[in-house]
Structure 1
Amino acid sequence: MGLARLWGVDRRALDVRTRLHLPAYADPDGQVSYPKAVTVVVSNAARLRKDQRAVRDLLPRRDYDLADLEFRQIGEEAERVFDSLHYLRNARRGSLNFALVDKNTGTPLTLCSASPLEWQRVADQLTRQFGVPKDAVWDLSRVYSFDGAPPNAVSYLLAQVRKYFQKRGDVQLLTTAVDPNLGFTGSSYLASNWQQWMTVQARPYLYYKRRYMSIREMRASFPSIRSIDALCEADKHATRSWAELADSLIFCCRIHGATERVRPEDQRRILR
Structure 2
Amino acid sequence: MRRHGVPNRALSVRTLLHLPRLARPNGTVARQQVIAELNRNAARLQRDQQAIDSLIPKDKYLLPDLRFVRLGNSDADQVFSRLHYLRSARAGSVNFALVDPVNKLPVTLCSVSPLEWMRVGRQLQAQFGVPLGAAWDVSRVYSFDVAPVNAISFLLSKVRQVIRREIPSVQLLTTAVDPNLGFIGSSYRAANWQQWMSIEARPYLYVDGIYASPRQLRTRYGGANLTELRRTHTGTRFEQSRAKLLDSVIYCCRLRGETAPVAVEDQRRLRR
TM range (shorter): over 0.9
Using the size of structure 1 for normalisation, the TM-score is 0.95
2:188 equivalent in structure 1: 189
Shift of 1:229: 5.3
The whole-number CA distance in structure 1 between the counterparts of 2:256 and 2:186 is: 21
The whole-number CA distance in structure 2 between the counterparts of 1:218 and 1:125 is: 26
Aligned pair 1:25/2:30, yes or no? no
Mark the runs of 5 or more structure 1 residues left unpaired by the alignment.
none
1:45 equivalent in structure 2: 42
Shift of 1:134: 1.7
Once the two structures are superposed, what CA deviation does each residue of 1:109-138 show, in whole Å capped at 9, x if it has no partner?
000000000001000000000010121110
The whole-number CA distance in structure 1 between the counterparts of 2:192 and 2:112 is: 17
Mark the runs of 5 or more structure 2 residues left unpaired by the alignment.
none
1:242 equivalent in structure 2: 242
The whole-number CA distance in structure 1 between the counterparts of 2:173 and 2:132 is: 11
User: Following TM superposition, where does structure 1 have runs of at least 4 consecutive aligned residues deviating by more than 2 angstroms?
Assistant: 225-236
Identity rate, percent: 53
2:176 equivalent in structure 1: 177
Shift of 1:233: 6.5
Shift of 1:11: 1.8
The answer to whether the 8 Å contact 1:232/1:240 transfers is no
The whole-number CA distance in structure 1 between the counterparts of 2:225 and 2:126 is: 27
Q: How many residues align?
A: 268
Once the two structures are superposed, what CA deviation does each residue of 1:138-180 show, in whole Å capped at 9, x if it has no partner?
0010000000001210000000000001212121000000000
2:216 equivalent in structure 1: 217
The alignment's C-alpha RMSD in Å is: 1.3
Once the two structures are superposed, what CA deviation does each residue of 1:10-59 show, in whole Å capped at 9, x if it has no partner?
22111100100011111001111011111100000000000001110111
Once the two structures are superposed, what CA deviation does each residue of 1:224-271 show, in whole Å capped at 9, x if it has no partner?
x34345545665500110000000000000001110000111011110
The whole-number CA distance in structure 2 between the counterparts of 1:245 and 1:200 is: 11
2:76 equivalent in structure 1: 78
Residue 245 of structure 1 aligns with an amino acid whose one-letter code is L
Among 159, 162, 165, the alignment partner of 1:161 is 159
Residue 254 of structure 2 aligns with an amino acid whose one-letter code is R
1:103 equivalent in structure 2: 101
Aligned pair 1:208/2:230, yes or no? no
The answer to whether the 8 Å contact 2:193/2:253 transfers is yes
The whole-number CA distance in structure 2 between the counterparts of 1:154 and 1:216 is: 26
After the TM superposition, which of the residue ranges 166-175 and 177-186 deviates more from structure 2? 166-175
Once the two structures are superposed, what CA deviation does each residue of 1:48-85 show, in whole Å capped at 9, x if it has no partner?
00000111011121222102211000112111100100
The whole-number CA distance in structure 2 between the counterparts of 1:247 and 1:166 is: 30
Aligned pair 1:137/2:135, yes or no? yes
The answer to whether the 8 Å contact 2:214/2:224 transfers is no
Among 9, 14, 19, the alignment partner of 2:11 is 14
Shift in alpha-carbon separation, 1:263–1:227, aligned structure 2, 3 A: farther
- Secondary structure, aligned partner of 1:79: helix
The answer to whether the 8 Å contact 1:197/1:250 transfers is yes
The whole-number CA distance in structure 2 between the counterparts of 1:192 and 1:98 is: 16
- Secondary structure, aligned partner of 1:184: coil
The whole-number CA distance in structure 1 between the counterparts of 2:205 and 2:237 is: 11
Aligned pair 1:54/2:21, yes or no? no
After the TM superposition, which of the residue ranges 163-172 and 38-47 deviates more from structure 2? 163-172
